[in-house]
């Protein structure tokens, strides 16, 4: 009986150590998740990038059309 109790006590101590390590790892994962962008952030960044791309294309096309018109007049 004492052997069983000793083994259970050892198992309990080891389990506490393991759970402590798991809790530490979980805390680190939660810290990293707190710094990661959310889906809303990614959507906003994507839409901003698309809007900037359209603006750049509009400026380039406007410049080409304006330049050709200027050449045609002169």
**What pLDDT is stored for residue 2 in this prediction?**
85
Give the list of residues 6+ apart from residue 45 with CB closer than 8 angstroms, or none: 37
pLDDT in tens, 29-70: 999 999 999 999 999 999 999 999 999 999 999 999 998 888
Total-model pTM: 0.56
Rounded Cα distance, 41 and 49, in Å:
12
**How large is the average pLDDT for residues 1-16?**
90
Which residue matches tokens 């759970």? 19
- According to DSSP H, which parts of 2-38 are helical? 2-35
- Spacing of C-alpha 45 from chain mean position: 12
73, pLDDT greater than 80: no
Band (23; pLDDT cuts 50, 70, 90): very high
């Amino acid at each position: 009986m004492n052997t069983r109790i000793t083994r259970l006590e050892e198992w309990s101590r080891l389990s506490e150590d393991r759970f402590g390590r798991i809790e530490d790892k979980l805390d680190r994962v939660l810290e990293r998740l707190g710094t990661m962008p959310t889906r809303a952030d990614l959507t906003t960044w994507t839409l901003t990038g698309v809007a900037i791309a359209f603006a750049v294309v509009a400026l380039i096309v406007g410049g080409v059309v304006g330049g050709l018109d200027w050449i045609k007049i002169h």
